[in-house]
Amino acid sequence: MGSYVPGALSAPRPAIRIGSPAPLGASVTAWGVNFSLVAPQATRVELLLFASGEASQAELVIELDERHRSADHWHVEVAGIGIGSCYGYRVFGPLQPGGHGFNPSKVLLDPCARAIAGWGGYRRAAAVGAAPNTASCLKGVVTERERFDFAAAPRPRHSWQRSVIYELHLGGFTSGSGSPVPAEQQGTLLGLIQTIPYLKRLGVTTIELLPVMAFDPSDAPPGRINHWGYSPISWLAPHPGYLLGEDPLQAREQVRELVVACHQAGLEVILDVVFNHTSEGNQQGPTLSWRGLGDRLYYQQNPRGDYLDVSGCGNTIAANRPLVRRLIMESLRCWACELGIDGFRFDLGIALSRGEELMPLDNPPLFEEMEADPDLADLKLISEPWDCGGLYRLADFPARRVATWNGRFRDDVRRFWKGDEGSCWALAQRISGSPDLFTRLPVRPGQCITFLTAHDGFTLADLVSFNGKHNLANGEDNRDGDNHNNSWNHGVEGPSSDHAIAALRERQLRNLLTTLLLAPGVPMLSMGDEVRRSKGGNNNTWCQDNPLGWMHWLPDSDDLALCSYLQRLLLLRQRLAPLLNPELPVLEWRWHGVELEQPDWASWSHTLAWSLHDASGEPLLWCAMNAYAKAIHFDLPSCQAGWLRLIDTALPPGDDLPVSPQRWSPSGAPLESRSLVLMASAALGPELVLDEISI
């Protein structure tokens, strides 16, 4: 089917048929293109066809009356057009206080459009008020709907037990001085392909991309841009800002190229998706798509028509309703089946479990549909267990197959190594699988995502360098961002030339990373933490498309030393996976203090040790953690095969986690202040010789 060309519709008028309600969106037929739109309360719909994405006026307007309606769907089939055709809608209906937000002066974007054009002339402000926005609207583009070629690039399908997630911002990770990505490809989908060798050498199995669904960069205060992309304008189209070139039809193909390259390298690709809100904001926001089709359908509102907000962004999607669920499921299948994506991380995902009047549901229908859908059966599904309305469901997240971010792990591990009182017992719970949170049983593989840092908050280097946030660059007088960071600058706020402070910070970085990667659960690392990336103490760089929001590609020797440590730590985790993250918990976990079998749970305690034992009682691993300001001697359990020292974070780089573990003959283990030591039975020795790697 040929592309839509300027002037093709002016004369003669193309033939038009009633069309079909399925499939949703614009789909190519043997005769032309079928258009299907959901607008239950609309009284009339107009389909506008444009000569190009940048056209300021429609070339043809097709009115849809009741003959083109099947229940909640409006549909029409147009002959002589095909892939590349640009279109939008005007939707008519009641507009009244407490009623629907229909505004036929606005040209609306099809929520099922798989590509978008018109960004050159787009103005967000034109979508507000009563004036027409035709000259500055976004248009849907008719695309193919081919399925991803899984035969040529099958999913890696890493088990949860051995998965390690690396969260990154596609634009930020490919940009900056020293980037391995050519300048013309920085900030693009294809540019990310150039970083795959780095990610493979690091040792992660899965990359999690901050939003790549189309978002509105102008959804930000004056003088700022929305860099992170948590401002969706479409749930099916890739973001054009990540496209190499200007052809919107290439966006889907470039997503596929990235996914193919990742699959062939053994990397899974997970998308951070935002289904809890849209860029349309509250009642005063722009009418771009969903609102103009039926705001009382898509958004949670009270009887007066006021928007209910548990997203912090002005609106909350009514994911409990059948037609809304259908659109979200269409999006998931599009990215998973057509573009090859391996999983999804749901931003503020628990908001999707709310029913009418925001009441929490124990059996939210959206998640039930996800878990029953065979097209999504082999995907990794992850969610934040909280929303801005105060709902927090971690171990009891109302979906069996959805893993949750364990924010308690982040907070309690930070508190322990910071030296807070009353942190020993909480740390013990986190590093043993959070049995206090997960119904008295350790977390099972695939149930819990453990992490120390994420895009939202301090980087790991800033966590040990700043006591408070420094967000003035965001233009909000340092009011934005979380005030509760559990961070510690170790004596000086920000960078320091004091050798003692620098050495202590280096040790703490290793303590934190080691605690994360020795704990049960699925660990997530944040972009650049392995090379001490700093954001200058800014813990909310959502609007910083500059070095504050970019990867650190010019590491110095200390940066590389930490990266080498993490590489070996990841390899060691893989070797110890059956012990650290067992599918079947057959090992015995024992707690110790400085003396065996004598853990100190007092509020003033800053020391903890643990050991894993086989069925015969023989110890396999022993680990001690000293967050106290002074060195302390720990007793070691007796081990028939003898001990090997795997890790000592107080030793110089290279010796802290050597390629070949060293025999340890003393009956005890001295730990320097704020350090961690890991020992393993020599019976495990052959598995613990690590390969030398270079980043």
Q: What are the catalytic residues?
A: 347, 384
In sequence order, the 6+-apart residues with CB closer than 8 A to the CB of 393 are: 350, 353, 360, 385, 404
Contact criterion met (CB below 8 Å) for 271 and 342? no
Q: How far apart are CA 105 and CA 289, in angstroms?
A: 13
Nearest Cα neighbor of 671 from 617, 618, 635, 620 is 635
Q: How far apart are CA 624 and CA 36, in angstroms?
A: 62
Nearest Cα neighbor of 349 from 278, 420, 296, 274 is 274
Angle formed at CA 318 by CA 313 and CA 324, multiple of 5 degrees: 120
What residue spans of 40-103 are helical by DSSP H? Answer: none
Q: How far apart are CA 316 and CA 276, in angstroms?
A: 6
Angstrom CA distances, 131 to 40, 86, 94, 284, stand at 24, 22, 17, 14
For residue 128, the one-letter residue type is V
Q: How far apart are CA 46 and CA 43, in angstroms?
A: 11
**Please, which residues bridge with residue 307 across strands?**
301
Q: How far apart are CA 141 and CA 86, in angstroms?
A: 5
The SS3 call for residue 189 is helix
With 0-12 / 13-18 / 19 or more C-beta atoms within 10 angstroms meaning exposed / middle / buried, residue 152 is exposed
Contact criterion met (CB below 8 Å) for 60 and 13? yes
Angstrom CA distances, 10 to 13, 14, 26, 58, 674, stand at 6, 9, 21, 11, 76
Q: Backbone phi, then psi, for 47, in 5-degree steps? A: -95, 125
Are β-strands 522-526 and 165-168 bridged in parallel, bridged antiparallel, or unpaired?
Answer: parallel
Count of C-beta atoms within a 10 Å radius of residue 495: 13
User: What b/e sequence results for 43-78 when a residue is b if at least 16 CB atoms lie within 10 Å of its CB, and e otherwise?
Assistant: ebbbbbbbbebebeebbbebebeeebbeebbbbbbb
Q: Edge-to-edge strand order for the sheet containing 86-92?
A: 60-64, 44-50, 86-92, 139-141, 116-117
Nearest Cα neighbor of 141 from 86, 90, 88 is 86
Q: How far apart are CA 15 and CA 591, in angstroms?
A: 77
Q: How far apart are CA 396 and CA 394, in angstroms?
A: 5
Nearest Cα neighbor of 518 from 580, 469, 568 is 580
Contact criterion met (CB below 8 Å) for 310 and 389? yes
Angstrom CA distances, 640 to 152, 619, 681, stand at 50, 9, 8
Contact criterion met (CB below 8 Å) for 517 and 523? yes
User: What b/e sequence results for 170-187 when a residue is b if at least 16 CB atoms lie within 10 Å of its CB, and e otherwise?
Assistant: bbbbbbbeebebeeebbb
What residue spans of 419-556 are helical by DSSP H? Answer: 424-431, 460-463, 499-518
Return the CA Rg of the chain.
27
